[in-house]
Amino acid sequence: KKKIQIYMCAFVFQTPSAVQKIKELLKDKPDHVGVKVGVRTRGCNGLSYTLEYTKSKGDSDEEVVQDGVRVFIEKKAQLTLLGTEMDYVEDKLSSEFVFNNPNIKGTCGCGESFNI
């Protein structure tokens, strides 16, 4: 039996699908240590997620390590992302990282932005 640990105090926790996809993406980027998650003001409803490769942990970043995958949360996004699940979803038409955020109060019609 494989034991899976999820840190519920974490800002973001990842599904096995997200962990596997990040591992695949980082395999070809040996100089990057993980991915950084943030939020930006954008879209018709206020905020949208950002996800980028990172070579180091920023001074004020929160670090979440799960199954060997390092995810860094930008300081200004930490309260917005508290308790958020990061998933990776594939279907016949698309593949994308999806954030299931319990803090969202509303989203825009196109699904590109949200508000807290």
Each of the 116 residues of the chain gets a pLDDT tens digit; together they read 555 444 444 567 788 999 999 999 999 999 999 999 988 887 565 778 889 999 999 999 999 898 999 999 999 888 888 888 889 999 888 888 888 878 766 665 555 544 55
- Residue linked to tokens 């954008």: 42
Spatial distance between the Cα atoms of 101 and 114, rounded to a whole number of angstroms: 10
The fold of the 12-115 domain, in CATH, is Hypothetical Protein Aq_1857; Chain: A; (2.60.300)
Spatial distance between the Cα atoms of 40 and 112, rounded to a whole number of angstroms: 11
Provide the 3-class DSSP secondary structure of residue 104.
Answer: coil
Indicate the DSSP class of residue 26.
Answer: H
